[in-house]
Structure 1
Amino acid sequence: MTHSLPHDDDATAPLGLPGPVVGTAWLAEHLDDPRLVLVDASSTLNRADEAIPGALLLDLDGPFSDPSSGLPHTLPPAEQLTAAARALGIRRGSTVVAYDGKGLFAAARVWWMLRAAGFERVAVLDGGLPAWAAEDRPTGPHAPAPAEPGDVELVPREEFFVTADDVARALAAPDATVLDARSAGRFAGTEPEPRPGLRPGHMPGAVSLPHTELQTADGHLLPLPELRARFAAAVPEGDRIVTTCGSGLTACVLALGAHLAGREDVAVYDGSWSEWGRPGPRPVAAGPA
């Protein structure tokens, strides 16, 4: 007797993904699949009224952030993360695709958080809403929250995120590289920080790799050979990587790029510059990389 593997069009089997990044053609083909949960993870600055049909709003400033931390976009406790995901109808057998109104900015945060919590069927839409709209594909209002909640259980694993003390140790370690996803000007301290009260500059010993350098001008990820070259130039082979940014969003773009480039020993500094850059004892350097 022979057994055939389930196909994507078998509604009893999970909807498979081609990888952690999907294109607009793949999404269009599977847009009506009931196993798909499509979320608009745009930050409030980049969120548009128009949405890809069926997309739900995923609020990284609200239920998907820890209100007790005093910092933006930090990972919520397991109970809160589970409840927020269930409210979007995410089930154990769901496949989640996240997109962004800017191209690639905040959606990678969803990919990283869900993977951190053991949920692997999650991907980012390459180019986000701009890529979808550029192809004259349909848009409309965001979908309402589903009447039936999901049943997913999300328990984040600690190794995906690090604290300020962990970052300090990584900066001093010979086998670790801290990558800063902010712009070169913010890294150098020549551009103002968007959040008031933060010191300009960067962590001494950190390496500047703006998240935009992993993308084309229209917000698509670079081809794999170019991604590998970016990381080879920034991180010695074998180093573990800690990514940081302003508030934990674009650090996940670097984590996504590192994953695609074959670098698996990666963690995200959740507090990022919103924590490190506060007035206090953490050292800060100025000047270009």
Structure 2
Amino acid sequence: MPAAGFMDLDQACADPSHPAPHMVPSASRFAAAMSAQGVVRERPVVVYDSLGLFSAARAWWLLQAMGHEQVAVLNGGLPAWQRAGLPVNTSAPRDIEPSRYSARWRAQRCCDAETVLASLAQPRVRVIDARGAARFAGRVAEPRPGVRAGHIPGSVNLPFDRLLVQGRLRPQAELRAAFEAVGATAQHRLIFSCGSGVTACVLALAAQQAGYTDWSVYDGSWSEWGAEPSLPLAVGEE
């Protein structure tokens, strides 16, 4: 897309010291990455990806969690843009004038394994897993070495692709119905998990669109939980 920059969720916008993939970076590391891309805190940012809606949701969540107020996701991403016949750029990346970006971490949009573990005894918390049904039930091996198969005890399964049609979020009423079908009501605090914290953000974006306000993303997700043998494990259907 013309004039677009690149948000590197695996390296520049991640914590390289953590064993789990693309974990949240420090505010200073994130600010440096945004400054290099010329992002200005007071200006709107639109994020998209090449699949329709996948990693763009992670970028949206991370920007919001770092205090950027005006962030939108291009629904349908690059495929929708191209189907609409809009211009794309295939030349070398443009020269970017660096900015002086500042980040302010909002801890309420993110939680760790300790918080998730404590929430399992709280009836008003619903942990929702965005992975496919076979991975959630532990019927297939996890793709990452050393990670157990199964799910967080008490969590429910809502595969992220059920919330999409051709890479776009479903209408608000359908999103709300999907969350209600797994027992998520307006009275629940929602915690989203997945394999490595990416598609959990698709659930977060969908929940916000559906009107939920009390939610957070478990950043380490199953790549962290499943690799820690001291944490409880469940297999089979929810």
5+ residue gaps, structure 1, are 1-51
- Inter-partner Cα distance in structure 2 for 1:277 and 1:145: 41
Is the contact made by 2:3 and 2:94 (CA closer than 8 Å) also made in structure 1? no
Match of 1:229 among 177, 180, 184: 177
Instruction: Pick the aligned partner of 1:144 from 93, 98, 106.
Output: 93
Cα pair distance change 1:246/1:152, threshold 3 Å: same
Shift of 1:101: 1.1
Change (3 A) 1:270 1:119: same
In the alignment, which residue of structure 2 is the partner of 1:158? Answer: 107
SS in 1 for 2:128: strand
Q: Which deviates more, 224-233 or 131-140?
A: 131-140
Tell me the equivalent position of 1:200.
149
Counterpart of 1:129 in structure 2 is: 78
How much has 1:69 moved relative to structure 2?
1.4
Q: How does 1:252-271 map to 2 (within 5 A)?
A: 252-271=201-220
Contact kept? 1:211, 1:254, Cα under 8 Å: yes
Aligned length: 237
Q: Give, as a single letter, the amino acid of the residue that structure 2 aligns with 1:275.
A: E
Give the SS at the match of 1:56: coil
TM-score by length of 2: 0.95
Is 1:77 paired with 2:26? yes
Offset of 1:210 from its aligned partner? 0.8
Q: Is the 8 A contact 2:130 2:200 kept in 1?
A: yes
Amino acid at match of 2:112: T
Structure 2 residue runs without a partner (length 5+) = none
- Asked if 2 retains the 8 angstrom alpha-carbon contact of 1:161 and 1:269, the reply is yes
Looking at CA atoms only, which structure, 1 or 2, has the larger radius of gyration? 1
CA RMSD of aligned residues (A): 1.4
- Residues 45-101 of structure 1, C-alpha deviation per residue, up to 9 Å, x if partnerless? xxxxxxx22222211001000001121111100110100011110012321111111
Q: Partner letter of residue 5 of structure 2?
A: L
How do 1:234-245 residues align onto structure 2 when only pairs under 5 Å count? Answer: 234=182, 235-245=184-194
Q: 1:173 & 1:180 partners in 2: Cα distance? A: 17
8 Å CA contact 1:87–1:146 kept in 2: the answer is no
Please give the alpha-carbon distance, in whole angstroms, between the structure 2 residues aligned to 1:93 and 1:146: 21
For residues 199-234 of structure 1, the C-alpha deviation after alignment (integer angstroms, 9 at most, x for no partner) is 111011001011111111x11100011011111222
| Residue 45 (structure 2) aligned to one of 78, 85, 96 | 96
Q: In the alignment, what sits opposite 1:43? A: none
C-alpha distance 108-142 of structure 1, shift in aligned 2 (>3 A):
farther
Change (3 A) 1:183 1:156: same
Report % sequence identity. 49
- Determine helix, strand or coil for the equivalent of 1:178: strand
